[in-house]
Structure formats: C-alpha cells, structure tokens
Amino acid sequence: MKSRLSVNINKVALLRNSRKGNYPNLYQYAKDCEEFGAEGITVHPRPDERHIRYSDIPVLMEQTTTEFNIEGNPTKEFLKLVLKHKPDQCTLVPDDPTALTSDHGWDTIKNKSFLQEVCSELKTHGIRVSLFLDPDLKMLENVSDIGAERIELYTGEYAKFQDLDQQKFLEELGKHKQVASEAMKVGIGVNAGHDLNLKNLKLYADSIPNLLEVSIGHALTVDALYYGLKNTIGMYKRLLS
Ligand code: PXP
C-alpha cells in the first residue's frame, strides 16, 4: 500500500508572518504542493497564530483540492473553527499553547470522556477524527471507545534516535510496528508524523505496512530550500511508493 503525503505548510506561514503582507504567498504554495504531487495539506493553527492564522483556513480550503487536515488542541476556539469549515480530517493534538511544537500524544485514559465528546461532535459533522498518539499499546486500547477512525503516531522519538542510538531507534520502530498492527486488527487507520525526513522515512514506511498517511512539514520545507519544492515532493513521494 502506498502512503499518502500530506504537506504541513506551517513553516511557510511562519516565513510569511515575519514580514507584513502575503509573501511568500501561502495559498499559492499550498496549490503548488498539490500540483507537484502532495495528496493532502495540513495546517496546525495555534492560539497565538504565529504561523497559520485562523483567517487562512477558509482561503486555503477554497483553493486546495486534496485532503485538508486541520490539527491542534481541541480548545473551544479551535473546535469552533473546525466545525465552521469542516475539513476532511481533524487531528487532535494535546499540545500546550506555549509549546514550541507538539511532542507527545494523548493520554487516552485520563482524557477518555473529553475525547469521546469531541470526537462525536466532529463525526456528526462528517469530519474524520485522528488522535495523535505515542506508540503505546495502552493508549491505543481506548481509541475504539473514543470513536476516532484514525491515530497519528508521533514519530519524534523515532527520528530523534536515528543518528544517536541505533538500538533505541530500532526499538522505537518496533513499538510503532506493534501499535500499527494492533490498530489494523481493530479497524483503526494509521497516520504518522513529526520529524520525518528524507533519511528516516523509507524505513518507517516500509516497516509500517498499513500506514495511510504521513504529514511532513519542517524537513520538507528545509529540503525545498536546497532541492526546490517540485523535486523535494517527488523525493518524498518516491520514498513512500
Ligand atoms: N503531526 C503533528 C501533530 C504536528 O504537530 C506536526 C508539527 O506541526 C507534524 C505532524 C509535522 O511535523 P514536522 O514539521 O516535524 O514534519
């Protein structure tokens, strides 16, 4: 199975926000990503709007044609935004408002009833729900009861160990394989993301046979500086095929 590539465009929004105006043009960038082969666009609006602004969402959704994924912490404001615009997928992430970037998945035991409520509301509006999760079987156990159709496995630890410690790197990959295969048995789809890059993506995608989608932002944006956007998207897609 070929996993889909969803490009996270936050970093380009960050660059735009470093000056006034719309340069680089975030909306054109999203369209170009699609033209060059991206199968989805991901945005992660944060409360301080330091990269994606809430006002970007309707424009992006109107101009893009592939799967639109909004990720973030389901605060009241975030849910209002998601329910108003109804993306194809909403990835729920337990990130602190002050966090530099998301760095862990949900505790699905402590947050079970809250996540059940959020999930049910999103699903009523036809939005697929994915839960950001560490590769931990205990955390997977509640996902069916919560009602999410997918999980997004947090690959930050996997990526962290790639050059540091080969044994831990492979152990981490083993945890991902195990959780992904259990998820498949109970009919939950598997996405993955965070710190995936040209060096670690192929092994990951080859090891997780039921990987539906990866969302990649930081490394892909940096690679595009060196190789150009079209080449870069092609390079990532080849690793997924
Ligand atoms: N998935 C989630 C939930 C994220 O928060 C992020 C970063 O915004 C990503 C995936 C993409 O991570 P990266 O930018 O490291 O590719």
All domains of the chain, ordered by start, with CATH? 4-240 (3.20.20.70)
pLDDT by residue (tens digit) across 212-228? 999 999 999 999 999 99
Q: Is the pTM of this model over 0.95?
A: yes
40 is written with which tokens? 């989805």
User: Ligand 1, from 42, 131, 158, 194: best to mutate by most atoms within 8 Å of Cβ?
Assistant: 194
Residue nearest to atom 11 of ligand 1 (CA): 194
pLDDT by residue (tens digit) across 64-103? 999 999 999 999 999 999 999 999 999 999 998 888 888 9
Q: Which residue, 22, 194, 34, is CA-closest to 105?
A: 194
Number of other CB atoms surrounding residue 39 within 10 Å: 18
Task: Report the C-alpha gap between 148 and 97 in whole angstroms.
Answer: 23
Q: How far is the CA of 112 from the centre of ligand 1 (A)?
A: 23
Number of other CB atoms surrounding residue 160 within 10 Å: 16
Torsion 128-181-215-45 (CA) sign: positive
Q: How far is the CA of 22 from the centre of ligand 1 (A)?
A: 23
Q: What one-letter code names the amino acid at 81?
A: L
Q: Which residues pair with 213 in a beta bridge?
A: 4, 191
Q: How far is the CA of 93 from the centre of ligand 1 (A)?
A: 10
Answer yes or no: is pLDDT of 206 > 90: yes
Number of other CB atoms surrounding residue 118 within 10 Å: 22
Number of other CB atoms surrounding residue 82 within 10 Å: 24
Answer yes or no: is pLDDT of 142 > 90: yes
Show which residues are catalytic: 44, 71, 194
